[in-house]
Homo-oligomer: A and B are copies of this chain.
Amino acid sequence: LSDVSWEQRLREAGYRLTPARRAVLALLSRAEGPLPPGEVLRRARALCPGLGRATVYRTLSLLVRLGLARAVPGPGGLHYVRAEEGVHRLVCQGCGAELVLELCLAGGLAEELARRYGFSIRGHVLEFYGLCPDCQKGE
């Protein structure tokens, strides 16, 4: 998804394209991983000075509703990532270390689910949980 198609999707759904939304959108695009709302605010202010906390929350939940972003469990609550077709992570339960995986095996499955349940599938999350080599020692 390019930034342009994001903007189109907002418009299609009847929402306005504002500096605040552009900033959050752009920020999530560049982020290297899931971010908590507070961090989204901090970083987005570089792109949109004076941005308010409430707007970040409103924008994040709008983006999730539209399928442009996704919430994943993280330290201290929900973290947000740009919704690509799939999110694939390997997370250590000991230290929280996180690896982004390059695989994808859910494509065909998504189609079957769409058929079977009538869902329009927008994306998926595949996360593996375990202990990294270091944390296995401490166990």
Contact = CB atoms under 8 A, between A and B. Distances in A.
Contacts of A113: 90, 101, 128
A106 to B, nearest CB: 7
Given A78-B73, A109-B103, A113-B90, A130 B139 contact: no
Which range contains the number of A residues in contact with the other chain?
35 or more
A123 B133 CA distance: 16
Assembly stoichiometry (copies): 2
Contacts of A70: 73, 129
Contacts of A105: 105-106, 109
A76 B132 CA distance: 29
A10 interface: no
A122 B129 CA distance: 6
A118 interface: yes
B130 A121 contact: yes
